[in-house]
């Protein structure tokens, strides 16, 4: 039953978006916006209701839904606004609200790099190019914007194609996943993963051990060869050598000493994806070179000069006519 309702919600949202895109029904813009937002709200309600949420989590969930609304609404404005510069600025809004969602999903490092790279660099580039290429409305004498920005092409078809996609994907996920969904995530796996990451960072491990007990001079491998033994209460035990001691003794590290998000991302980058990292660097280099080559101004050479450069003689002006005779 859920897919049918979900499809209806998708259809309402799609209708709103299509109306917003259609130039001919511009006067119903307000109604169309309301319709689209209602559809999106309905979709979100269906999604949220499909999974029971503990009361303690309602706060973050509310923040998430707020960010979701800002994000989707800005995205719609990106594709419906008639002034490209405003589109780009709305896109900044999408990026910022997306970064907020990232933070809510505890991906702080990526959230901030997103803001820096996207909002700070890429979008600025877009703005520059827009300024470079865009005729101002005054130039063309139109009050609002030029035609190709104002009139969408085939909005109905595009919207149908897009929302068929989302209906299909969402319908299948949220109808099937319902019975198996759990309200919370078992994080013991994540904790074990975090402690293991820490064991691969000896300097940080020693630092964390000293933070627990300042007398620690070294962290040594345990009897079973592991550096860290994870306990069921998410704490961990390490073997340490203290000042004035010769034999190692155990030390319990509290869960709060787990490495933070940034450290773990960095660790994963250099230990698990080194080749991808190098390739990313190469891609950036190539993109830079390509941009340089593309952006070089090409001088127009007259035909005669081009022939001269190629070592060929000049073409007489009237030669085609002469050939006809």
Partner 1 sequence: MNQELASGFTIAANASIAVALAISALLFVIGLVGFLCRRNMIIMFLCTELMFQGAALAMIAFARLRMDVSGQVFVIFILTVAAAEAALALGLVVLLYRKRETLSADAWSELGES
Partner 2 sequence: MIPTGSIPQAVIAPELSWIGLALLLPLLAAVGCALCCALRVKGKAAAILTIVALAASFGIILKAYSSYTGPVQVPIFQWLTFQWGTGTFQSFTANCALYIDTLTLYWMLFVTGLGTLITIYASEYMEGECGAGYSRFFFGICIFLFSMGALVMGDNLIMLYLGWEGVGLASYLLIGYDYSRPSAVAAAKKAFIMNRIGDLGLAFGIFMLWANYGTVQYSELFAAMNKGGQSSVDWDVSVIPFLLMLGAFGKSAQIPLFTWLPDAMEGPTPVSALIHAATMVTAGVYLIARMYPFFELHPQALATVAWVGGLTALLAATIGMAQYDIKRVFAYSTISQLGYMFLGLGVGTTFGACYHTLTHAFFKALLFLTAGAIMHGFAGQLDLRKLSGLRHIPGWRIVSWTMLVGCLWLSAFPYTAAFFSKDAILLQALTSVRADFRFLGWLGLFTAALTAYYTFRVWFRVCAGPTHFEPGSEEHHEPTDHHSDGGHDAKATVGAAKSHGAFHPHAPRWAINGVLLILAVGAVVVGVPAYEHVFAHKENWAQQMIAGSSAYQGAGLPGEHSAEPSENHPTVLGMDAHTGLTVVGCTASIGGILIAWYLHLHSRKSADQLRAALLRRWWIRWVPICMENKWYVDEIYHVCFRLPMWLGGQILNFGDRHFLDGVLVDGLAKIPIAVGKVFRPLYGGALQGYAVTMAGGIALVLAWVTWIWLRGFN
Q: Show contacts with partner 1 in window 199-228 (CB under 8 A).
A: none
- C-alpha to C-alpha distance for 94 and 68, rounded to whole angstroms: 9
Question: Within its chain, how far is the Cα of 80 from the centroid?
Answer: 21
Integer Cα distance of 295 and 173 in angstroms: 45
- Nearest residue to 89 via CA among 146, 33, 127: 127
Please, which residue, 27 or 153, has the CB nearer to partner 2? 153
128 vs 78: CA distance, rounded Å: 17
The two structure tokens encoding residue 323 = 């050939």
Residues 99-128 that bind partner 1 (CB under 8 A): 101-102, 104-110, 113-114, 117-118, 121-122, 125-126
Q: From CA 254, how far away is CA 231, in angstroms rounded?
A: 10
* 168 or 221: CB nearest partner 2: 168
What do you get for the CA distance between the two ends of the chain, in Å? 81
- Among residues 290, 301, 305, 315, the one that binds partner 1 under rule CB under 8 A: 290
The entry of partner 2, partner 1, none near residue 99 (CB within 5 to 8 angstroms by kind) is none
Q: Which residue of 51, 105, 140, 165 would you call a contact of partner 2, by CB under 8 A? A: 165
Q: How many CB atoms lie within 10 A of CB 88?
A: 19
What the block records as the tokens of 237 is: 């035990």
How many C-beta neighbours within 10 Å does residue 18 have? 22
78 Cβ partners below 8 Å, 6+ apart?
Answer: 87, 90, 91, 94
CA distance 51 to 184: 10
Least separation in angstroms between CB 324 and partner 1: 29
> Does 86 engage in binding with partner 1 (CB under 8 A)?
no
In sequence order, what are the residues at sequence separation of 6 or more whose Cβ sits closer than 8 angstroms to the Cβ of residue 254? 212, 235
Task: In angstroms, give the least distance from the CB of 75 to partner 1.
Answer: 4
Q: Are 219 and 227 in contact (CB under 8 A)?
A: yes
Binding mask 116-155 for partner 2 (x = CB under 8 A): -------------------------------------xx-
Residue selected from 171, 199, 230, 258 as contacting partner 2 according to rule CB under 8 A: 171
Q: Which does 182 bind (CB under 5 to 8 A by kind): partner 2, partner 1, none?
A: partner 1
- Supply the minimum distance, in Å, between the C-beta of residue 4 and partner 2: 12
Touching partner 2, residues 2-61 (CB under 8 A) = 3
Residue closer to partner 2, measured from CB, 35 or 152: 152
Distance CA 305, CA 325 (A): 28
149's contact among partner 2, partner 1, none, with CB below 5 to 8 A by partner kind, is partner 1
Pairing of strands 236-242, 216-220: antiparallel
CB of 32 to partner 1, least distance (A): 14
Ranges within 148-177 binding partner 1 (CB under 8 A): 148-149, 151-155, 157-159, 161-163, 165-166, 169-170, 173-174
Of residues 155 and 194, the one with the C-beta less far from partner 2? 155
Q: For residue 219, what are the β-bridge partners?
A: 240
Among partner 2, partner 1, none, what binds residue 48 when CB lies within 5 to 8 Å by partner kind? partner 1
> Taking CB under 8 A as the rule, does residue 238 contact partner 1?
no
Q: Which residues contact partner 2 (rule: CB under 8 A)?
A: 3, 153-154, 157-158, 161-162, 164-165, 168-169, 171-172, 175-176
């Amino acid at each position: 039953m859920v897919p049918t309702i979900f499809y209806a919600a998708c259809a309402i949202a799609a209708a709103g978006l299509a109306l917003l895109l259609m130039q001919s029904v511009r006067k119903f813009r307000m109604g169309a916006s309301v319709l689209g937002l209602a559809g999106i709200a309905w979709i979100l309600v269906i999604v949220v209701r499909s999974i029971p949420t503990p009361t303690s989590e309602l706060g973050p969930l509310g923040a998430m839904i707020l960010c979701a609304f800002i994000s989707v609404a800005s995205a719609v404005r990106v594709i419906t606004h008639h002034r490209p510069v405003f589109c780009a600025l709305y896109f900044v809004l999408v990026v910022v609200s997306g970064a907020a969602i990232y933070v809510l999903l505890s991906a702080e490092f990526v959230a901030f790099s997103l803001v820096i790279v996207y909002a700070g660099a890429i979008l600025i580039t877009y703005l520059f190019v827009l300024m470079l290429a865009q005729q101002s409305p005054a130039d063309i004498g139109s009050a609002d914007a030029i035609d190709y920005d104002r009139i969408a092409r085939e909005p109905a078809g595009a919207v149908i194609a897009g929302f068929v996609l989302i209906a299909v994907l969402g319908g299948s996920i949220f109808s099937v996943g319902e019975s198996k969904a759990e309200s919370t995530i078992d994080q013991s796996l994540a904790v074990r993963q975090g402690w293991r990451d820490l064991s691969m960072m000896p300097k940080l491990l020693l630092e964390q051990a000293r933070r627990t007990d300042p007398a620690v001079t070294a962290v040594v491998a345990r009897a079973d060869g592991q550096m860290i033994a994870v306990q069921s209460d998410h704490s961990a035990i390490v073997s340490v050598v203290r000042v004035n001691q010769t034999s190692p003794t155990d030390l319990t590290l509290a869960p709060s000493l787990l490495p933070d998000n940034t450290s773990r991302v960095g660790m994963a980058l250099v230990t698990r994806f080194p080749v991808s990292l190098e390739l990313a660097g190469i891609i950036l280099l190539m993109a830079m070179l390509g941009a340089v080559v593309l952006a070089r101004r090409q001088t127009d050479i007259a035909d005669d000069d081009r022939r001269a450069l190629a070592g060929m003689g000049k073409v007489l002006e009237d030669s085609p006519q002469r050939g006809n005779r």
